[in-house]
A and B are shown apart, each in its own frame.
Chain A
Amino acid sequence: MKITLDADKCCAAGQCVLIAPEVFDQRDEDGVVVLLDAAPPAAQHDAVREAAAICPAAVIEVHA
C-alpha cells in the first residue's frame, strides 16, 4: 500500500488521526494533515482505507 495526499484540500477535520494515528497526524499551526508513514504495514491497511473513505475533503488517496 502506498498513500498520497492532496493536503491542499485538507479541512483539518482530524478524522484520519482518530482512525489511524500511526499513519496520520496534524500540523499544530493549522491542523492540516501530515503523513507519518506513506507505506504502512498490513496491520494498518484497514484503518487507512477507513480514514480515506471518511475524510470529508477527499484528501487521502490509497494506491494498491
Chain B
Amino acid sequence: MTARPIAVVGASAAGLAAAETLRRSGWRGPLTLIGAEPHLPYDRPPLSKQLLHGAWEPEKLRLRTEEQLAPLDLDLRLGTRATGLDVATRTLTLDGAESLACAGVVIATGVAARTLPGTDRLTGVHTLRTLDDALALRGRLTKGGTPAGEGVAGGGGTRRLVIVGNGVLGCEAAAVARELGHEVTVVGIEGTPMAAAVGTDVGTLLAEEHRDRGVRLLTGTVEGFDTTDPGDGRGPQVTAVRLAPGSTSASGGAAGGTRLPADTVLVAIGSRPAVDWLTDPALDTTDGLRCDAYCAAAPGVYAAGDVARWDHPAHGRPLRFEHRMNATEQGMAAARNLLAELAADGPTGTGDGTPAPERRPFAPVPYFWSDQYDLKIQAYGLTAGADRVETPVRDRAGRRILALYGREGRAVGVLAAGLPPRQIRALRAVVADPLPWEEARERIAAATAAG
C-alpha cells in the first residue's frame, strides 16, 4: 500500500511554513503542497509597498528558491486548486477531479480580495492581493512602464488614482502612489483611515500624514463607475467613481460632487476567507475555517494563516488574523499538532519510534506592522475590537505615538510608531497575556521611561 501524503492546501507563507515544519519535525511520508497561483511561494506584504513602488522586482519576494525547496521533497502542485474535502476520509478533490486520500491535511488557502459588483470587465479597476494583481496595478502606476507581457494601458501612465477602502491596504497603496506622483483620493466607509484596525486616535494621526502629502480623504460609499469604451477591443475603461449621496470629505465638508474622475481605481475593501470549496458539513466556515485551540478543524484536518479562526487560549474567543507573522507561526503550530495527532493515532511516516509529542494550544502574541511614507507602525496583541484606547504618547511633530488597547477591563493590545526598537520590543511583554488595565498602564510607562 502506498503511504498516504500529508497535503498542505495553500502555497503562501502559512502553507510553506507548515510544509517545512512537517519535514523538520520528522514527517518522512509523501508531502503535497497545493497552490492555486502559478508562482513559487512568495511574500505578500511587499506587494502594496516595495513591489508596487517599483523598488523591488518579483524575485525579491520569493520566499524560497527551487534549490531551497528541493530538500523538502515536495509533490508541488502549483496552478492547482483544491475543490473539495471529504473530512471523514481526509480525501481532497483537486482541479480536474483528481482525488487525493491523505493522512492529514493543513488548510492554508488564505483570503481573496473582496470586489465591487460590475467591475470584473472594467479596465482600470484593480484589487491587490496577488503578485499578478500587484504587477497589473504597478503597470498602470509606473509611467510608461508596462510590464512585459501585461496587457495593461501603458504609454502616458495614469495620473488620477481613486482608492476605494481606507483600511491598512488602501492606506499603504495611497502612500506609494503619492510617492510616485499620482493624484490620490481615498474613499472609505469609516470616517477615519484604518480606524477599524487601530481605532480613531491613531487613525486621525495617519489621516494627517496622508493629508500633509496631498492625499484627499473622503467618507462615502461607491454607487457605481463611469466608463468609456476606447474601441480597442479591451472593453470599457473606468473614467470616474460615482459616490452615493451624502458622502463627505473626512475633514467634515461636503465632498464637492459625488463624481471622482479616475484613470485607475484600486478596490481595497477587505477580503473573504477562501473557504467556498469547503462544503463538508463537518466544517464550520463562518468567517474562516473554525478551529479549536490546537488549530484543528476536524480530526486530521488543521488550518493556518488568514483562513483560520481558532480559539486563542489567552483571549478566550475565536480569532482570525490576516497578519504576516501569524501565517508563519500558525503554519508551524498546525503542522506540529497534526504530526502529534497522527503519532498518537498510530504508526506514521515519522516511524522512528520516538515518543509522540503532545499537541499544544496555539497562543501567539499577534503582531503586525504597516509602512506608510517613512512611518512604521508596529502593533502587538489585539488592536481591533477594543472598547478602550489610550494614547500615552502622541507627539505629532516628532511623529511618535504609543497607544494601548483594552477590552473588558484588560489591556489586550499596544501600537507604536517612532519609538526606539528596544522599547517597542518591551511593549510586547505587556500584552502577551491580557493584564488588568491599570497594571498594563504602569508597565507601559516603565517600558518607555528608559532610553
Interface residues of A (CB under 8 A from B): 9, 11-15, 17-18, 26-28, 30-31, 53-58
Contact = CB atoms under 8 A, between A and B. Distances in A.
Given A12-B369, A13-B378, A31-B376, A58 B45 contact: no
Interface in B417-431: 420-422, 424-425, 428
A17 B425 contact: yes
B177 interface: no
A9 B420 CA distance: 19
Interface in B9-66: 13, 17, 20-21, 43, 45-46, 60, 63
A57 B421 contact: no
A30 B13 CA distance: 25
Given A12-B376, A13-B369, A26-B421, A56 B17 contact: no
A18 B43 contact: no
A13 B45 contact: no
A31 B60 contact: no
A53 B376 contact: no
A11 to B, nearest CB: 6
B425 A56 contact: no
Give the secondary structure class of B's interface. Answer: helix
Given A28-B420, A56-B45, A56-B325, 12 more contacts: A9-B46, A11-B369, A11-B371, A13-B367, A14-B421, A14-B425, A28-B421, A28-B422, A30-B376, A53-B20, A53-B328, A56-B328
B332 A15 contact: no
B388 interface: no
A6 B178 CA distance: 27
A37 B63 CA distance: 24
Contacts of B60: 9
A27 B20 contact: no
B324 interface: yes
Given A26-B421, A27-B421, A57-B45, A15 B378 contact: no
Contacts of A30: 376
Nearest to B55: A8
A46 B447 CA distance: 29
